Amino acid sequence: AQSVTQLDSHVSVSEGTPVLLRCNYSSSYSPSLFWYVQHPNKGLQLLLKYTSAATLVKGINGFEAEFKKSETSFHLTKPSAHMSDAAEYFCVVSDPPYGGATNKLIFGTGTLLAVQP
C-alpha cells in the first residue's frame, strides 16, 4: 500500500529565510506525489504535483519539490518565506498511481508552518 510520512509536525521559520518541509513516501512502484496547502479555516489547495515527468516540480507561490527515488523523499522547499506562507501543508500520494476510477489520495498527517516576523 502507498503511504507518506511527514517528518515534522511543526516547523517555524523567520520571514525571508528558507523553508524545508520533509516528506518520505512508501511505494512498491513509481508514485504520483502532491503537496496541498491549507490556510487557517480554509479548504485545501493543490500546491504542486509530481507524476513521473521532471523530478524537480515547481508549484504556486514560489514553492518547489524534488522527487528523489533513491531517498524515497519528496521534500517541499521555498527560498524565502513570507508571512502569507503560514499554513498547514500536506504531502499526498495517489493510490493507485496510474488512474482508474477508484484512484484515491492518501494524505500525510500535515506540517504546520509558522512564519515569524
Partner 1 sequence: NAGVTQTPKFRVLKTGQSMTLLCAQDMNHEYMYWYRQDPGMGLRLIHYSVGEGTTAKGEVPDGYNVSRLKKQNFLLGLESAAPSQTSVYFCASSYTHPFQETQYFGPGTRLLVL
Q: Which of 2, 27, 32, 73 binds partner 1 (CB under 8 A)?
A: 32
Q: Which of 20, 46, 54, 83 binds partner 1 (CB under 8 A)?
A: 46
Cβ atoms of residues 56 and 75 within 8 Å: no
Cβ atoms of residues 48 and 58 within 8 Å: yes
Total residues interacting with partner 1, rule: CB under 8 A: 25
Q: In whole angstroms, what is the distance from residue 35 CA to residue 89 CA?
A: 7
Secondary structure E strands in 2-70: 3-6, 10-14, 19-21, 23-26, 33-38, 44-50, 56-58, 64-68
Beta-bridge partners for 20:
77
Q: Minimal distance in Å, beta carbon 62 to partner 1?
A: 20
Interacting stretch for partner 1, rule CB under 8 A, among 16-24, 54-62, 70-78, 88-96?
A: 88-96
Q: Minimal distance in Å, beta carbon 24 to partner 1?
A: 14
Cβ atoms of residues 3 and 106 within 8 Å: yes
28 binds partner 1 (CB under 8 A): no
104 binds partner 1 (CB under 8 A): yes
- Residues forming contacts to partner 1 in the complex (CB under 8 A) are 9, 32, 34, 41-46, 49, 51, 90, 92, 94, 99-105, 107-110
